[in-house]
């Protein structure tokens, strides 16, 4: 224990200074990381804002929606499947009837 006390008397202030410097550098790196995360967050918020303004300006009328449903192949297929289930007719027969 006596050797430890002697060591602290000689080098105690040096150890404290080194620990303070390490603590300072650690706190600086945390701050830069926080700033980087804030910058990324601002970029994402800006992208969300641009997407919101884009979609707010895009409005589809009822007539356009009906036209899309009639012309898009996936909607046609869905409609044919629904009719074939209701009327118990094969899908191939319905496709031939529509063409």
Phi and psi at residue 88, to the nearest 5°: 55, 45
Rounded to the nearest 10 degrees, what angle do helices 91-98 and 73-87 cross at? 120
pTM attached to this predicted model: 0.35
Residues 91, 84 contacting (CB under 8 angstroms) = yes
- Tens of pLDDT, residues 9-52: 888 889 999 999 888 887 776 777 788 889 999 999 988 888 77
Residues 94, 77 contacting (CB under 8 angstroms) = no
Tell me the CA end-to-end span of the chain in Å, nearest whole number: 100
Max distance between CA atoms of the chain, in angstroms, equals: 103
């Amino acid at each position: 224990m006596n050797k430890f006390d002697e060591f602290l008397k000689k080098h105690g202030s040096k150890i404290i200074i080194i620990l303070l410097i390490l603590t300072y550098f650690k706190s600086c790196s945390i701050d830069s990381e926080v700033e980087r995360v804030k910058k990324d967050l601002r970029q994402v918020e800006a992208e969300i804002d641009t997407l919101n303004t884009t979609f707010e300006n895009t409005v589809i009328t009822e007539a356009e929606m009906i036209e899309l449903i009639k012309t898009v192949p996936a909607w046609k297929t869905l409609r044919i499947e629904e009719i074939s289930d209701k009327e118990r007719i094969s899908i191939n027969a319905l496709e031939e009837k529509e063409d």
